[in-house]
Structures are given as C-alpha cells and as structure tokens.
Amino acid sequence: MIASSAEPRSKDGKASAAASAASAASAAAETEEQSCVDCEKSLVGSRYIVHLSNSYCVPCYESKYANTCESCQTLISTDCKDLAYKDKHWHDSCFVCSECKAHLLDKMFAYRSDKLYCADCFENIQALVCATCGQPFTAGMKKYEHRGKRWHEDCFMCQDCRAPIGNNAFLYYRNNPVCLMCYDNKYALHCTKCQKVISKGGLQFRGTPWHMECFVCSNCEKQLAGDRFTTHDKKQYCVDCCNKLFSDKCHRCEERITGVGKVKYVAFEGRTWHCKCFTCKDCHKSLTSEGFIAKDQDIYCAACGKK
C-alpha cells in the first residue's frame, strides 16, 4: 500500500530526525571538567551529546547510536537528518524514489521489496509484478495473465497442491487459482445421491445439493425438479407414490384418501373416512358435524342408531 509522506517525527512508522532525539550542545569551558562516558576524552571546549543522562563525544555517540542508511549503507551522522519509516532509516539526500530519483520528503511514497517508490512509479511497478511473489517481470520472461493478474511461469500454481497450472484448466477459490482436481476434492458441491461433483445447474433441498437428474422419487424414480412432491421418513416421493404407499383407505369406499397438504378427512378409533363418506350407514345423512353412534364397525346417526 502507498504510505504517507515521510516527515521528521517520532519512530512510530513515520519519518523522524534521530538527531533531535539526542541533545546536541556546544560546550565551552566549564568550571567542572566533563569527559566522554566511553573514551573518557575531555569534552571541555568540544561539541558533545547527552543521551540518557550520559555525555558522549560526537564520534563515540555516532559509533554507538547512529543508524545506517538503507540506501548508501553509511552511518547517518548527527549533522544529517535521519528519516525513518518502519524501522528503516535514510539520509535526507538518500530518501528518493528508486526509479525516477525524485525526492520523497513531504510526498506520497511506497516501500516494497526494500525499495522506495513515488506514487506514480509504484503504480507502474505494481501493474508489472507477479501476483504470487510480488517480483517484477524482466524482458523476455514468460508470464501468464488472467483477470488482470500476472504470474511468473514458476509462480502460476495451484494454491493447494502447489502443482504448476501452465496451460491446464483451473478455477478460482478465494481469488486464487486452484487446479480442477483440488477444486473438485475440496471446494465443489457434491450431489447428495451420487456424490459426484455438481459442475453446473443442480438444486438445493433442505440445505443439501442435488443434480437435477438425481432429485427423483424414492419409489418410481420420476424426476421431481419443478414438480409437486412430498417427503416421508426423510425421503422424497412424487404425489402418486406418496398416496399409493402411505395414504389411508376410506373405511366406507375403500379408496385412498389422497392429496398433498391439508386434506380434510375424519378419523375415529383407528379408522378413516373421506368427509363425503362419513355418513349414516342407513339413511346416508352426513355426520361430519353431527353426533353419531358407532355400532358393529359402522356409524349411524342418532335416530338410526337407536333402531
């Protein structure tokens, strides 16, 4: 990411002037003689630096505390600005774009692969680096491109098994290329019935995936996609098979009480009737909203039941 401009600030990820952290002073002759805490050389009449309550001559301080410039690899003396970014340090004059050499103080910049870039050069470099390793492409180097990304030949590999993809077919998972074998084994949906990969189409029923052709009646194997069906003991059935296998018989007409959803029927002592069949055996009066008398496995209205 492009970082903010370096400025002489504290070492918290922004540029800082290390020299300002130590008090530099020019000392004249004093009544009581001072000496460098390291080399014990007298500091009277010389420049010296106080650091953590200790006094140092300039050479001793720089050899002990001065930072090394990332660019020129020389010590950053107390006479120079020490610009810092993410624990890296540069001379003021070395804090430049590695491409166009523009000075970066007070400008937007980026730091990548141990190099500084101005905003414009970073955008140009970013467009020409490998999506896996982040390294640039050299002239004549073979590269693969897909969906705006570029890879070195050796970097264009499956994110799971690390096998080279080359010119083979692949798919994306979480924005990274995956070979077909790894995708099928780890990420693809598998049909609940045949356990094979659902490569296209398919449907979901109660959170489980199915091929369209595998989602069939558990009895007659009629395809159920787009048709009415019901379930029994966690299996799906077409309406005809459900009625044939599981519906009750009417005690009067002995036909199946069929239908899907809210079907109206009458049940009494383990027997069932169609509503239209729930009538007095003698006078055939409907008993769905009447009192009735059960006798000899049949039902009668109150009047007929007393005969």
Give the pLDDT confidence score for residue 261 in this predicted structure: 53
Tokens of 222: 């009629």
Which secondary structure element, helix H or strand E, spans residue 209, and what is its range?
strand 208-210
DSSP 223: B
Nearest one of 255, 254, 260 to 241, comparing CA atoms: 260
pLDDT band at 115 (very low <50, low <70, confident <90, very high): confident
pLDDT at 97 over 90: yes
- Please state, for a pLDDT cut of 90, what percent of the chain lies above it: 22
Q: Calculate the alpha carbon distances from 11 to 15, 45, 86, 88, 100 in Å.
A: 7, 32, 8, 10, 26
Least confident of 73-77, 89-93, 195-199: 195-199
Give the pLDDT confidence score for residue 8 in this predicted structure: 40
Q: What is the mean pLDDT of residues 229-243?
A: 86
pLDDT band at 217 (very low <50, low <70, confident <90, very high): very high
Q: Whole-angstrom Cα distance, residue 148 to residue 129?
A: 11
Say which residues have a Cβ less than 8 Å from residue 118's Cβ, sequence separation at least 6: 97, 99, 100, 102, 104, 107, 108, 109
pLDDT band at 126 (very low <50, low <70, confident <90, very high): low
Query: Within 13 Å and on the Cβ side, how many CA atoms surround 133?
Result: 11
Residue 258 contacts residue 252 (beta carbons within 8 Å): no
Q: Whole-angstrom Cα distance, residue 307 to residue 305?
A: 6
Compute CA 283 distance to the chain's CA centroid, rounded to the nearest angstrom.
73
E-assigned strand segments in 86-226: 88-91, 109-112, 115-118, 143-146, 149-152, 170-173, 176-179, 203-205, 208-210
CA–CA–CA angle 175, 176, 182 (5° rounding): 125
Place of tokens 């296998």: 245
Q: Which amino acid is at 184?
A: D
Nearest one of 240, 292, 241, 245 to 266, comparing CA atoms: 292
Q: Which amino acid is at 267?
A: A
pLDDT at 15 over 70: no
Q: What is the mean pLDDT of residues 289-306?
A: 82
